[in-house]
Amino acid sequence: MEIKARGLTFDVYEGGPADGDPVLLLHGFPQDHREFDLIRPRLHAAGLRTYALDQRGYSPGARPTEVSDYRAAEPAADAIAVLDALGLESAHVIGHDWGAQVGWMLAAQHPERVRTLTAISVPHPRALRLAMRVRPTQRARFAYFALFRSPVAERFLLAGNALALRTMLRPIGGRAALYADAMRDDPARLTGGLNWYRGLSGEQLAPVAVITVPTTYIWPDHDGVVARTAALRTRDWVEADYQLVVLRDVSHWAPEQAPTAVADAALARITGA
């Protein structure tokens, strides 16, 4: 269905029992709502109602052209507006990658709207900032940001039938083609996704403070983006029931590489809150 919010039109994919507790699913780059396809049936079977949002830059009706429109606060405001449009006072939030960052911001700044948070791969922003400051290895893992923010990013990622995107997503096998083909066939989608990188600055995440809602952070230990320090120090920023779930031998793309483990962790958080 289409949801109009903040002057934009978002594609939202709903499923599960109509009277189930609501779960907002927030995807990352370069994926879209489909990255939760392998998890949603488990959530529905548990009686939950899911709303998987194609976020700013991905929904065709929600692609502002200015990089400043992709500052970190904007997708968080979108999520709140979508909840309002759906008539939901609050929801459980599950986010991966950039969607996890949005989840952290929602839980920090709008805790009354977040029943529980399950953040996948990306840790609390303050823990990540600490790791970037004290661990050269963590800084090295973010070297790709410079490429993604550059004017040649689109050309590089789409070259050779989007070979770079397919290579990046290799751990999820054939599902990589879903996203590589979508970006190849609709380059504006790729630009929208890259604008999240271009619009980000560290100062935008500094206000993300202590989390006071029940939280699970899922860290795949073979994540090429987030190293151990940031994962472990996330605990410092949650003053509520908290669990760190470490997925062994799993890459950054956990929702599709290890959907059962991710669903189990999310359900434990939601049903145990």
- Whether residue 55 contacts residue 195, with contact meaning beta carbons closer than 8 Å, is answered with no
Q: In angstroms, rounded to a whole number, what is the distance separating the alpha carbons of residues 173 and 130?
A: 33
Confidence of residue 273 (pLDDT cuts 50, 70, 90): low
What pLDDT, on a 0 to 100 scale, did the predictor assign at position 139? 87
- Whether residue 227 contacts residue 234, with contact meaning beta carbons closer than 8 Å, is answered with no
Which sequence spans correspond to the domains of the chain?
2-138+204-272
Q: Which residues have C-beta within 8 Å of that of residue 75, sequence separation ≥ 6?
A: 55, 56, 98, 102, 196
How much is the average pLDDT of 79-101?
A: 97
Task: Tell me which architecture the domain covering 2-138+204-272 has in CATH.
Answer: 3-Layer(aba) Sandwich (3.40)
Tell me the average pLDDT of the chain.
95
Q: In angstroms, rounded to a whole number, what is the distance separating the alpha carbons of residues 174 and 177?
A: 6
Confidence of residue 132 (pLDDT cuts 50, 70, 90): confident
Tell me if the bond preceding 30 is cis, omega within 30° of 0.
Answer: yes
Nearest to 8 by CA among 74, 71, 52: 74
What pLDDT, on a 0 to 100 scale, did the predictor assign at position 204? 66
DSSP, residue by residue, 104-141? HHHHHH-GGGEEEEEEESS--HHHHHHHHHH-HHHHHH
Nearest to 66 by CA among 237, 196, 246: 196
Phi, psi angles (nearest 5°) of residue 114: -115, 115
Helices (H), the chain: 40-45, 73-86, 98-109, 125-134, 136-141, 144-149, 153-168, 176-185, 187-198, 202-205, 228-233, 254-257, 259-272
How much is the average pLDDT of 64-68?
A: 94
pLDDT at 209 over 80: yes
